[in-house]
Amino acid sequence: MKIFNTMTRRKEEFVPLEEGRVRMYVCGPTVYNLIHIGNARPMIVFDTFRRYLMHKGYDVVYVSNFTDVDDKIIKAAIEEGVSAQEIAERYIAECKKDMEGMNVMPATVHPLATMEIDGMIEMIGKLIDDGFAYERGGTVYFRTRKFRQYGKLSWKNLDELRSGFREIKVTGEEEKEAPLDFVLWKPKKEGEPFWPSPWSDGRPGWHIECSVMAKRYLGDTIDIHAGGEDLIFPHHENEIAQSECANGVPFARYWMHNGFLTIDKVKMSKSLGNFTQVRDIAKHYDLMVLRLFMLSAHYRSPLNYSADLLESAKSSLSRIARCVERLRDLAARPEGAASEGDAALLAECPSFTEKFDEKMDDDNNTADALAVVFDLVRYANMNVSEENAPAVADAYLKTLMELLDVLGIRLPEKEELPGEEIEAMIAERQAARRAKDFARADAIRNELLAKGIILQDTREGVKWSRA
C-alpha cells in the first residue's frame, strides 16, 4: 500500500513500525462551536483510511485529541458568561453526535488537552534543560534555531519566513530570541483558566499538546500523523521540533494531509464565517450523503461544496440503496432458480474487491474506489436477476456491503411498513388466492418477507409478525 508522505512529497510504500499494527494520530478540533463540514473532512477521510487499514487486517490504534483550552474557547466562555470547561464539554458532546451521524468511529483514545497538563510541563522542562527552550517573564519559547531540521515538513524557506516574521510583532512576545520561536507555555491573564508550573501560573501553547498526547498514547515514534493541510505550518512543523528534540528519535514516519473543503473556491472556516455546519446538513439530509460527497474526491484535492453536488451524492446513495434492496430480495428467495451463468457470475464477484483494494492501496483513493462500487452496482443490476440462484445475489450483496463498510457508508434504515399497508397487502393476497392466482399470492408473501414481515396462515385467518 502506498501513502503520499507530505515530508518527502512522494508516494511511499507503507511499512508500519510493528508488523500488523498501525499507530495513528489525527489532530482534532478546537471545541468552541458546532463543527462545520470543513472540520468534518479530515474526520471522514481519515476514518475511512482507518477502516481500510482494519480491512487489510491491521490492528489500528487511532488517537484524536480535542483542544479544550484555547483563546477562542475562553472568548466564547466570556461572551456567554460560563466557564471555558462548560463550553468545551458542550461542544465535545455535540461533536461526538455529529461524528456518530457521519459514522466516524470513536478514536481508540480521545485525549483532552486539559487532562494532559502534567505531561506537557514535563516535556517543556526537558526541552529547557536540554537548551531547546527558554523562559522569559513566565513565558516559555521553543528555540527554533537549535533544531537544524526546522522546516523539513513544510519545505519552507526559513530565511524568507524569518524576514517576513520580523515585520509582525505579536504583543507579549517581544522578548523572543528569534521571530520563528513559538510559545510552549504562557502566563494566565485575568479570568483565564490556569495551571501552576515552574515558570508561571498559566496554560500550554497549542502545539505542545499534540506532541505530548502522541507520545503518551502511541510512543515516541508513530506511524502516521494526519490533519488538514493548514496544519502543516506551523502546527505540525512545531510538533516535530518539540517531539524530536525531547525524544531524540523521528516523530512520525508518514504525514498525511487532507486538502481544503472550499465554498466558492475559498477555504471554509469559522473565522471567515463562510461555513455550513454538519448540523445544518443533517436537517435536510442523511449524513451518509455528506460522507459520500466527501469520499467522491481525492482527499488531497480541494473539494468545493455546492448544493448540487450534495444532491447528486443523494441520488448516488439511493442508487446504491436500491441495488442493496434488490439483491436482498433476490437472495431471500427460496432455493430453486439456477442458471448456466451462475458460475461465471460467482467467479466475477471477487474482482470488484480486488479492484477496490487496488484503488485504496494507491494513497487512499476513495474517489476511484467509489467508482468501483458503482461499477459493481451497475454490473449487479444488469446481470443478477431472478434467473440466477439466490446464492449469486447473496455473493454480490455481501461484497457490496463489505465495500460500503470499508467506506463507512451505512445505508439508511429500512422504513418500517405501516400496519395498514401490511393489512392491505394481506387482503390483496387473499383475493389473489380466491381467484386462484397463486403466483401473485406468493409474490405478495415474498414481498412482505423481504420487508421483514412474516405471514402465518392459521385457522383464524392470516397472522403477521415482524422479523
Binding site for ligand AMP (CB under 6 A): 27, 29-30, 38-39, 41-42, 227-228, 230-231, 258, 260-261, 267-269
Residue 133: φ, ψ to 5° = -150, 160
77 binds, among ligand AMP, Zn ion, none (CB under 5 to 8 A by kind): none
Give the dihedral sign, CA 141/145/149/150. Answer: positive
Q: What count of Cα atoms within 13 Å lies in the side-chain half-sphere of residue 66?
A: 26
Q: How far is CA 59 from the centre of its chain?
A: 17
Listed residue (115, 133, 136, 129) closest to 195, CA to CA: 115
Number of residues that bind Zn ion (CB under 5 A): 2
Strand 202-204 with 182-187, pairing? antiparallel
Amino acid at 279: R
151 binds, among Zn ion, ligand AMP, none (CB under 5 to 8 A by kind): none
Task: Report yes or no: 142 and 127 within 8 Å, Cβ to Cβ.
Answer: yes
Choice between 50 and 267, CB closer to ligand AMP: 267
User: Please, which of residues 190-249 interact with Zn ion by CB under 5 A?
Assistant: 210
Tell me if residue 187 falls in helix, strand or coil.
strand
210 binds, among Zn ion, ligand AMP, none (CB under 5 to 8 A by kind): Zn ion
Choice between 127 and 263, CB closer to ligand AMP: 263
339 binds, among ligand AMP, Zn ion, none (CB under 5 to 8 A by kind): none
Q: How far is the CB of 115 from ligand AMP (least distance, A)?
A: 18
268 binds, among ligand AMP, Zn ion, none (CB under 5 to 8 A by kind): ligand AMP
Can you name the residues that pair with 62 across neighbouring β-strands?
Answer: 24
Q: How far is the CB of 290 from ligand AMP (least distance, A)?
A: 13
Measure CA of the first residue to CA of the last residue in the chain; give whole Å: 42
Choice between 298 and 326, CB closer to ligand AMP: 298
Q: How far is the CB of 234 from Zn ion (least distance, A)?
A: 11
Q: How far is the CB of 128 from ligand AMP (least distance, A)?
A: 27
Q: How far is the CB of 395 from Zn ion (least distance, A)?
A: 43
Give whole-number Cα distances, 309 to 44, 292, 304, 312, in Å. Answer: 17, 10, 9, 5
Q: How far is the CB of 233 from ligand AMP (least distance, A)?
A: 12
Q: How far is the CB of 227 from ligand AMP (least distance, A)?
A: 4
Choice between 144 and 238, CB closer to Zn ion: 238
Distance CA 68, CA 86 (A): 10
Choice between 26 and 404, CB closer to ligand AMP: 26
Q: How far is the CB of 35 from ligand AMP (least distance, A)?
A: 7
Q: How far is the CB of 250 from ligand AMP (least distance, A)?
A: 22
234 binds, among ligand AMP, Zn ion, none (CB under 5 to 8 A by kind): none
Choice between 240 and 397, CB closer to Zn ion: 240
Q: How far is the CB of 413 from ligand AMP (least distance, A)?
A: 29
Choice between 16 and 38, CB closer to ligand AMP: 38
Q: How many CB atoms lie within 10 A of CB 39?
A: 23
Among 27, 45, 113, 278, binds Zn ion (CB under 5 A): 27
Cβ-Cβ contacts under 8 Å for 331 (sequence gap 6 or more): 390, 391, 393, 394, 397
Quick one: 96 exposed, middle or buried, by C-beta within 10 A (0-12, 13-18, 19+)? Answer: middle
Strand 10-13 with 21-26, pairing? unpaired
Chain position carrying cell 487486517:
57
Choice between 134 and 217, CB closer to ligand AMP: 217
380 binds, among ligand AMP, Zn ion, none (CB under 5 to 8 A by kind): none
Residue 193: φ, ψ to 5° = -65, 145
Chain position carrying cell 451497475:
378
228 binds, among ligand AMP, Zn ion, none (CB under 5 to 8 A by kind): ligand AMP
Residue 217: φ, ψ to 5° = -95, -15
Choice between 138 and 259, CB closer to ligand AMP: 259
C-alpha cell at 326: 434488490
Element (H, E) at 130: none
Distance CA 18, CA 16 (A): 5
Listed residue (248, 194, 200, 201) closest to 221, CA to CA: 248
Question: By CB under 5 A, is residue 121 in contact with Zn ion?
Answer: no
Chain position carrying cell 447473496:
394
User: Please, which of residues 287-306 interact with Zn ion by CB under 5 A?
Assistant: none
Choice between 67 and 200, CB closer to ligand AMP: 67
Q: How far is the CB of 209 from ligand AMP (least distance, A)?
A: 11
Question: In the complex, which residue's CB is closest to ligand AMP?
Answer: 228
Tell me if residue 30 falls in helix, strand or coil.
strand
Choice between 99 and 324, CB closer to ligand AMP: 99
260 binds, among ligand AMP, Zn ion, none (CB under 5 to 8 A by kind): ligand AMP
Task: Report yes or no: 304 and 262 within 8 Å, Cβ to Cβ.
Answer: yes
42 binds, among ligand AMP, Zn ion, none (CB under 5 to 8 A by kind): ligand AMP
For binding to Zn ion (CB under 5 A), which residues are involved?
27, 210
